[in-house]
């Protein structure tokens, strides 16, 4: 899990490091180039917002709107000394408004934008900035200076730009965002966390030249990458089993050479699991089988073809070479005791393993699979023809009693079928 979380944040980490390295070089740019750089976040925000909307990633959409709205207010009203009352009040309110919005955005689930709830959330993100912008344009913020809490005046006396009150709000936002990021482990939560880091950096290092432009640019690029990664995951990774899906298989088949072997895998009597135990247990069966298939050795790779069917791809191997690895998987699955998950069963894998050892009479069953194997030969025009022949071998395995592997061409001398503790199928 830790590796997956780090992978989600890897692009943002690289970009933020780049920001630290570019602060001095950017300060040497011409005025025209700095002006262009200052406009870049708006274009990036538009692109990221459209991507997020298109892929229904509303967390990243709201985080983008929140970040770019804060950036707009900084560019419009905070390019002057904070000794000016109007600027000081604007800075102080922004340092609270940004983390408040981020805290709420971190808790949002993905819903449609043009729904009552979606529009309410959108209004919640933007209304504060609209009101703040209106007060700033009328030079009305300075009048609010005496109304600021006392713990927002530390900047007058200390060499820092984050007041105690703002630090509290950012602390709450950070804690909330981290909790949702760790528990959800999604690209949406990663995008919200990235926007939090960027906005916090803008206030902590507010005196550095071009810091808001650089941080917002880096954050928006990272958030755009998160949307693309999420869309790629949706297209190429099966959500239930978390192994590559059919589209990924099609891409893989298009890159194979003239020598390879395909194995079509089907769970025996899968409908019985759903009828006997329910669809939740059926999903558990699919996840278990997928996890075992994903551990295939011999250079093979597992894909979910659809329903209860899976495909194994062995590049550079013929049937005789691939069959031992296929049989190894079949026996592994057939002899694996599938414990029926109940309310007391922990999600933690280690704890689950301990409970399986302790419960000698636990309710469990066994799953078997049938496999059809076919290698690429001159008689096959393409991968589709190889897969069709593997399907025929699979049907033969089913007709022969299931829980076995059948190769289209290679026929071993002795059948490699081992009796299981419980032949459910």
What is the chain's percent helix, strand, coil content, to nearest 5?
65, 10, 30
β-bridge mates for residue 366, sequence order = 337
Neighbouring C-alpha atoms within 13 Å toward the C-beta of 211:
16
DSSP SS3 for 422: coil
Catalytic residue among 110, 239, 242, 308: 308
CA distance linking residue 308 with residue 286, whole number of Å = 7
Nearest to 379 by CA among 417, 408, 336: 408
Name the strands in the sheet holding 309-315, side by side, starting at the edge strand that comes first in the sequence: 301-306, 309-315, 260-267, 369-375, 405-407
Reported in sequence order, the residue ranges of 201-343 that DSSP labels E, i.e. its strands, are 260-267, 301-306, 309-315, 337-339
CA distance linking residue 101 with residue 183, whole number of Å = 20
CA distance linking residue 234 with residue 248, whole number of Å = 11
Nearest to 91 by CA among 66, 64, 65, 70: 70
Nearest to 53 by CA among 234, 248, 231: 231
User: 187-204 and 211-236 helices cross at what angle (nearest 10)?
Assistant: 170
Q: Which residue has the tokens 């713990």?
A: 151
309 is catalytic: no
Whether residue 166 contacts residue 92, with contact meaning beta carbons closer than 8 Å, is answered with yes
Q: Give the residue numbers annotated as catalytic, written as ranges.
A: 308
């Amino acid at each position: 899990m830790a590796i997956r979380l780090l992978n989600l944040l890897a692009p943002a980490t690289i970009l933020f490091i780049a920001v630290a390295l570019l602060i001095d070089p950017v300060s040497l740019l011409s005025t025209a180039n700095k002006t262009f750089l200052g406009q870049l976040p708006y274009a990036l925000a538009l692109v990221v917002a459209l991507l997020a909307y298109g892929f229904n990633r509303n967390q990243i959409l709201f985080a983008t709107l929140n970040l770019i709205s804060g950036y707009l207010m900084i560019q419009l009203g905070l390019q002057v000394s904070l000794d000016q009352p109007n600027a000081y009040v604007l800075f102080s309110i922004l340092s609270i408004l940004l983390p408040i919005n981020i805290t709420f955005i971190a808790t949002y689930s993905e819903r449609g934008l043009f729904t009552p709830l979606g529009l309410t959330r959108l209004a919640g993100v933007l209304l504060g900035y609209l009101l703040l912008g209106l007060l700033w344009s009328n030079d009305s913020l300075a009048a609010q200076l005496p109304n600021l809490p006392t713990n927002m005046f530390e900047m007058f006396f200390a060499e820092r730009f984050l007041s105690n009150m703002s630090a509290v709000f950012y602390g709450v936002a950070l804690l909330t965002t981290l909790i949702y990021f760790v528990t959800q482990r999604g690209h949406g939560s990663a995008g919200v966390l990235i926007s939090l880091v960027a906005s916090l950096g803008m206030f902590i290092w507010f005196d550095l030249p071009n810091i808001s432009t650089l941080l917002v640019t880096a954050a928006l690029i990272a958030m755009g990458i998160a949307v693309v990664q999420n869309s790629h995951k949706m297209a190429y990774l099966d959500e239930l089993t978390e192994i590559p899906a059919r589209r990924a298989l099609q891409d893989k088949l298009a890159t194979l050479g003239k020598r390879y072997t395909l194995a079509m895998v089907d769970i025996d009597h899968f409908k019985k699991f759903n009828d006997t135990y329910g669809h939740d247990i059926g999903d558990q069966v699919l996840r278990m089988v997928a996890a075992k298939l994903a551990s295939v050795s011999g250079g093979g790779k597992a894909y979910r073809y659809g329903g209860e069917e899976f495909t194994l791809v062995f590049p550079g191997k013929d049937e005789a070479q691939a069959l031992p690895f296929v049989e190894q998987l079949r026996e592994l699955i057939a002899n694996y005791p599938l414990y029926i998950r109940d309310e007391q069963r922990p999600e933690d894998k280690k704890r689950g393993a301990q409970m399986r050892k302790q419960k000698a009479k636990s309710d469990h069953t066994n799953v078997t699979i049938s496999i059809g194997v076919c290698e690429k030969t001159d008689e096959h025009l393409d991968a589709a023809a190889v897969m069709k022949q593997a399907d025929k071998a699979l049907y033969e395995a089913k007709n022969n009693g299931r829980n076995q592997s059948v190769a289209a061409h290679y026929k071993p001398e002795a059948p490699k079928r081992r009796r299981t503790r419980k032949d459910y199928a």
